[in-house]
């Protein structure tokens, strides 16, 4: 007999759990409301960042994620990767994460490039760079580590936001090792249409015949003038039709073309959220739109999700539940009065192993702005099956699992573990729940 599994969440972790639970033969219902952190992603698929690396260190000294994972597991016992390693279902976290990420990308039909054995250094729209493990195909050509005396042309498109070609050129020229670039030039490509309301408006227009023709013709002219080997463009090359537009640009320019990383609002994030929605439909996962406000309980079991959809309140019964509701940005965690809480099940929050549910919020920050603030690592404490624990180490509920950034023990903003944690914990929660 199939269990009815209710998954609450709109992002990567929720879909990873849904796909795993469905594969195990369960009846899955996904409750989605507003997009979360997945829709704000920069474009990279991060697994692990060296906690001891400084921003001024040379790029060629980067250690790939597979070598960083044992360091994290050894030194951060409350990190989700350390908890994953304790699972009886996982022999090696690196192998598990890489397989899970590749399978997830295939499930949402996203061409993904990379591995845990190589570092990818991608330029942002501010001229900085970010190391990661995986990137979509449209970013793959921008790996600075694989450039060898490249002739880079940084092209601004109209009044695209958060992308200053001259500033990016100066920033990239300022890094220690310039053997990656023989020269860096800039160019500006303006369009006949200029009244774009947002970067999304521009991205959608570039998919249309008029926009596509103008960018293709313009880039062909710039290539004849500047003779680049690589072209860096703003992250606005289409939304649903991004892959087709990117392939055409690569074909007509005969250059290695790539988009920069994005800052919110992110076209990369919009594309990912679109692919998530398409995958839910393609895999025939039952989906309900609404906001879960709480649960009806029977002793140690959650039984019915109470949802608001417009003016209506409805109950959704289930056998098992997976929460993938994120942290503060997605309201998976909230501040009520002077304290923080998990609002749906009132699960206890931890900073590492320290129970902080009734800790005054001011004590979770430091005086120095750039210190490591405990607030950013606060979340749920889980066992190796991704089941939330109370302050005594006991299960909070007998039919509840969690996944994604709602789990504490790491700082989501700068730990460089976002995709690895989301997909890894989501997959394990869905699989373990199905056993």
**What does the pLDDT profile of the chain (435 residues) look like in tens digits?**
689 999 999 999 999 999 999 999 999 999 998 887 888 999 999 999 988 887 677 777 889 999 999 999 999 999 999 999 999 999 999 999 999 999 999 999 999 999 999 999 999 988 888 999 999 999 999 999 999 999 999 999 987 667 899 999 999 988 756 689 999 999 999 999 988 989 999 999 999 999 999 999 999 999 999 999 999 999 999 999 999 999 999 999 999 999 999 988 899 999 999 999 999 999 999 999 999 999 999 999 999 999 987 778 899 999 999 999 998 778 888 877 767 889 999 999 988 667 676 655 566 655 555 556 666 778 999 999 999 999 899 999 999 999 999 999 998 877 899 999 999 999 999 997 645
* Same-domain status, 278 and 379: yes
Pairing of strands 112-114, 134-136: antiparallel
Residue 2 confidence (pLDDT): 86
Residue 357 confidence (pLDDT): 64
- 193 belongs to a structural domain: yes
Picking from 261, 296, 311, the residue at the C-terminal end of a domain is: 261
Picking from 261, 293, 309, the residue at the C-terminal end of a domain is: 261
- 119 belongs to a structural domain: no
- 116 belongs to a structural domain: no
Question: Between the CA of residue 351 and those of 60, 130, 356, 379, 427, what are the distances in Å?
Answer: 34, 27, 7, 7, 24
Residue 174 confidence (pLDDT): 81
Residue 115 confidence (pLDDT): 97
Provide the token pair at 378.
């606060």
pTM: 0.94
* φ, ψ of residue 113 in degrees (nearest 5): -125, 135
* Same-domain status, 100 and 159: no
pLDDT in tens, 366-420: 555 555 666 677 899 999 999 999 989 999 999 999 999 999 999 887 789 999 9
* Same-domain status, 154 and 175: yes
- 53 belongs to a structural domain: yes
Domain region containing 37 = 4-111+272-434
Provide the token pair at 2.
């199939």
* Same-domain status, 86 and 131: no
Picking from 261, 291, 315, the residue at the C-terminal end of a domain is: 261
What is the C-alpha to C-alpha distance for residues 321 and 170, in angstroms, rounded to an integer?
A: 51
What is the C-alpha to C-alpha distance for residues 240 and 227, in angstroms, rounded to an integer?
A: 30
- 266 belongs to a structural domain: no
Is residue 304 within 8 Å of 317, Cβ to Cβ? Answer: yes
What is the C-alpha to C-alpha distance for residues 254 and 258, in angstroms, rounded to an integer?
A: 12
Pairing of strands 129-132, 120-123: antiparallel
* Same-domain status, 366 and 252: no
* Same-domain status, 252 and 354: no
Is residue 122 within 8 Å of 261, Cβ to Cβ? Answer: yes
What is the C-alpha to C-alpha distance for residues 104 and 138, in angstroms, rounded to an integer?
A: 18
Give the torsion through C-alpha atoms of 88, 92, 95, 97, to 10 deg. 60
What is the C-alpha to C-alpha distance for residues 310 and 387, in angstroms, rounded to an integer?
A: 31
Provide the token pair at 335.
């501040």
* Same-domain status, 24 and 131: no
Domain count across the chain: 2
Tell me the CATH number at 139: 3.40.50
* Cis status of the peptide bond prior to 11, with omega within 30 of 0: no
Residue 17 confidence (pLDDT): 98
DSSP bridge pairs for 407: 380
- 407 belongs to a structural domain: yes
Q: How many helices (H) and strands (E) does the chain have?
A: 11, 20
- 165 belongs to a structural domain: yes
What share of residues in the chain are helix, strand, coil (percent, to 5)? 35, 25, 40
């Amino acid at each position: 007999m199939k269990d009815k599994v209710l998954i609450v969440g709109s992002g990567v972790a929720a879909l990873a759990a849904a796909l795993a639970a469905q594969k195990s033969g369960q009846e899955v219902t996904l409750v989605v409301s507003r997009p979360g952190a997945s829709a704000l992603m920069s474009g990279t698929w991060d697994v692990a960042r060296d906690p001891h690396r400084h921003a001024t260190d040379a790029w060629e000294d980067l250690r790939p994620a597979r070598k960083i994972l044992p360091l994290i597991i050894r030194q951060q016992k409350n990190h989700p990767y350390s908890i994953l390693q304790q699972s009886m279902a996982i022999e090696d976290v690196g192998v598990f994460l890489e397989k899970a990420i590749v399978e997830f990308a295939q499930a949402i039909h996203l061409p993904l490039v990379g591995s845990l054995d190589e570092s990818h250094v991608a330029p942002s729209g501010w001229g900085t760079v970010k190391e990661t493990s995986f990137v979509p195909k449209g970013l793959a050509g921008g790996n600075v580590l694989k450039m060898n005396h490249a002739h880079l042309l940084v092209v601004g498109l109209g009044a695209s936001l958060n992308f200053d070609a001259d500033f990016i050129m100066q920033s990239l020229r300022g890094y220690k090792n310039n053997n990656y670039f023989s020269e860096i030039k800039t160019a500006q490509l303006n369009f006949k249409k200029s009244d774009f309301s947002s970067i999304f408006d521009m991205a959608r227009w570039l998919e249309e015949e008029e926009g596509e023709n103008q960018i293709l013709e313009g880039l062909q002219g710039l290539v004849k003038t500047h003779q680049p080997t690589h072209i860096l463009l703003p992250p606005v090359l289409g939304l649903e039709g991004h892959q087709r537009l990117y392939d055409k640009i690569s074909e007509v320019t005969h250059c290695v073309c790539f988009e920069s990383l994005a800052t919110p609002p992110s076209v990369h994030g919009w594309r990912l959220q679109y692919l998530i929605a398409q995958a839910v439909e393609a895999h025939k996962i039952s989906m309900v739109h609404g906001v879960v406000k709480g649960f009806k309980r029977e002793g140690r079991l959650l039984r019915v999700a109470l949802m608001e959809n417009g003016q209506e309140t409805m109950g959704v019964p289930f056998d098992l539940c997976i929460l993938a509701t994120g942290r503060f940005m997605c309201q998976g965690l909230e501040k009520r009065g002077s304290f923080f809480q998990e609002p749906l099940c009132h699960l206890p929050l931890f900073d590492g192993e320290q129970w902080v549910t009734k800790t005054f919020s001011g004590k979770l920050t430091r005086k120095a702005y750039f210190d490591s603030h405990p607030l950013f690592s606060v979340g749920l404490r889980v066992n190796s099956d991704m089941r939330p624990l109370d302050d005594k180490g006991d299960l909070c509920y007998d039919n509840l699992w969690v996944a994604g950034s709602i789990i504490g023990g790491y700082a989501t903003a700068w730990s460089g573990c976002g995709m690895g944690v989301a997909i890894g914990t989501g997959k394990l929660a869905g699989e373990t729940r199905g056993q």
